[in-house]
Amino acid sequence: VDAGLGVAARIAPSLNLASLGAPVKLLLGGSAILFALGTVSNRLLAEAAEAANAVGILNAAIGGPR
């Protein structure tokens, strides 16, 4: 984003691109966080299910309550 704004500022120095840069960075950063949150939450749910399965197997192996 910064590189693109830098190039645009070189091409059109009379425009105030600093006022455009902050909202663009917020939008791109927010969308990246939302995308990563979805990916991380899916992985976290898979790990939790795997851990619950492992606890059940260990519980059955030691003869614990079912």
Q: Both tokens of residue 18?
A: 């600093």
Of the candidates 31, 26, 6, 28, the residue with the CA atom closest to the CA atom of residue 18: 6
Helix (H, G, I), strand (E, B) or coil at 25: helix
| pLDDT level of residue 52 (50, 70, 90 thresholds) | very high
Do the Cβ atoms of 62 and 35 come closer than 8 Å? no
**Residue 32: its pLDDT value, please?**
94
6-51: pLDDT as tens digits: 888 889 888 888 788 888 889 999 999 999 998 899 999 999 999 9
**Residue 33: its pLDDT value, please?**
94
What residue segments make up the domains of the chain, in order of their start?
A: 2-61
